[in-house]
A and B are shown apart, each in its own frame.
Chain A
Amino acid sequence: MKITQERIESLAPEYVLGTLQGHARRRFQQWMMDSAEVRREVWFWEEKLSQLALVIPAEQPPASVWEAIETRLWPSRATAPVKARPKAGFSWLLPGWSLMATAAALVLAVLLMQQPAPEPEAPWSALTGAIVQADVDQPLWLVSEDSRSQFLHLRPVAAAQPEADKDYELWVVPEDDAAPISLGVIPVSRDRYQITLTPEVREALERSRTLAISLEPQGGSPSGAPTGPILHVTTLYEL
């Protein structure tokens, strides 16, 4: 369907209102990516309709909400007990695991990458691994993390393009059943990709050494938590 001014004007408010759904909504999201004019119309309506929300009386959330946010973002620092979320921590992997069990072709393995020469003066560690699939000769992605830098390096090798309107999103799976931490959408076609790790995220990764990749709507999970199937889970090894 061609983008026309008339269609933009009739679909943008319904997109913002939430009554545009299903295929029409996905198609409109694609339009938003393609057209600044579409995005501006959406922003216009977001601004206008949100005025309806501003007149709802404010209601103070319980303190546990902020504590839960802190725990999800910075799991190693939070000390307050957190109310369990339905999809928190490793429990959210379970549907993914069962999915993998049915997709028998998919097997996880870990490959060691070449070890860089250590520097004697500073103790350091490096985590490394690969995300592989049984029916693909080469690893899909190679991953390495070096405690001397703030980066996680990712190298797509044999990763295939996700289906249309989808992206792969990388997650740190922390210990202690804490909610996964997004490292963002990852590419399949770049030579080398670098993700900046905050000290907290790096600490969570170094403790759990577990990464996961989920299939998400284009642009990544809308919620900050995995919404799609878990395609891969891998454990990194210390060099």
Chain B
Amino acid sequence: MQDEIRQSELISLLGAVAQQDRQAFHRLYQQVAGRMFGLCRKLTGQQELAEEALQDAFIRIWHHAGEYHSERGAPLSWMMTIARNRTLDLMRSRKVHQGASNEVIDIMEDERAGPLDATLHQDGSAALAMCLDELSQNQRDSVLLSYYRGFTHEELAEFLGTPIGTIKSWIRRGLIAVRRCLER
């Protein structure tokens, strides 16, 4: 119920932002900037780049709020996607890579023990968590490292010390399996 109220509030704020309502834009920022910034920080591992990505994401939201509609999913998902995409663009244009090969185990442990197992099940995302759990460990690691760290195929191949063809196959098959699982 809380979530429904929150969703409808975000939708109405986005509608007002589409009408150039600055106060609504500030309220929207107050509501979601923390979540978006947490994601930007996790992806980049850098304060400054994350701040820049967050700025860019909100500029985009201001200009494109009118393009949001319910088919695009929950409003927060739409905004988180914008934040993640902008962060990835900046990381890739500046050639920012997080971590080094000797950190990869820590990163994977972090993802495995991180939010997924503990929180995702409680957060209305149980289906996704369950479907990810069904993947092989390699498939799951590749997908999660890509999502949370923004790794490309090449970076994953380097970090995991695995041929790129294998990485591509893990990700492709992993995601197709998740799709099939979510349809069940």
Binding site for B on A (CB under 8 A): 9-10, 13-14, 16-19, 21, 40, 43-44, 46-62, 64-66, 68-69, 72-74, 83, 85-86, 182, 184, 198, 222-225, 227
Q: Is the pair B171, A14 in contact by a Cβ cutoff of 8 Å?
A: yes
CA distance A62 to B37 in the complex (A): 10
Smallest CB separation, B115 vs chain A (Å):
3
Q: Is the pair B39, A56 in contact by a Cβ cutoff of 8 Å?
A: yes
Q: Is the pair B37, A224 in contact by a Cβ cutoff of 8 Å?
A: no
Smallest CB separation, B10 vs chain A (Å):
13
The residue of chain B having its C-beta at the shortest distance from the C-beta of A51 within the complex is: B125
Of A44, A51, A223, the residue contacting B120 (CB under 8 A) is A51
The contact string, 1 if C-beta is below 8 Å from chain A, for chain B 133-161, is: 00000000001101110111100000000
Q: Is the pair B77, A50 in contact by a Cβ cutoff of 8 Å?
A: yes
Smallest CB separation, B18 vs chain A (Å):
13
Of A43, A44, A54, A60, the residue contacting B125 (CB under 8 A) is A54
CA distance A51 to B90 in the complex (A): 22
The residue of chain A having its C-beta at the shortest distance from the C-beta of B52 within the complex is: A85
CA distance A218 to B84 in the complex (A): 20
Contacts across chains A and B counted by CB atoms under 8 Å: 161
User: Which residues 31-80 in B have Cβ within 8 Å of A in the complex?
Assistant: 33-35, 37-39, 41-42, 50-52, 54-56, 58-60, 62-63, 71-74, 76-78, 80
The residue of chain B having its C-beta at the shortest distance from the C-beta of A16 within the complex is: B81
The residue of chain B having its C-beta at the shortest distance from the C-beta of A17 within the complex is: B146
CA distance A220 to B5 in the complex (A): 33
Of A14, A198, A223, the residue contacting B56 (CB under 8 A) is A223
The residue of chain B having its C-beta at the shortest distance from the C-beta of A59 within the complex is: B38
Q: Is the pair A58, B35 in contact by a Cβ cutoff of 8 Å?
A: yes
Of A40, A46, A64, A223, the residue contacting B77 (CB under 8 A) is A46
Q: Is the pair A17, B59 in contact by a Cβ cutoff of 8 Å?
A: no
Contacts of B13 in A (CB 8 A): none
CA distance A56 to B172 in the complex (A): 24
Q: Is the pair A48, B123 in contact by a Cβ cutoff of 8 Å?
A: no
Q: Is the pair A40, B71 in contact by a Cβ cutoff of 8 Å?
A: yes
Of B35, B123, B124, B175, the residue contacting A17 (CB under 8 A) is B175
Q: Is the pair B34, A60 in contact by a Cβ cutoff of 8 Å?
A: yes
CA distance A178 to B74 in the complex (A): 33
Contacts of B11 in A (CB 8 A): none
Q: Is the pair B146, A224 in contact by a Cβ cutoff of 8 Å?
A: no
Q: Is the pair A222, B60 in contact by a Cβ cutoff of 8 Å?
A: yes
Q: Is the pair B51, A49 in contact by a Cβ cutoff of 8 Å?
A: no
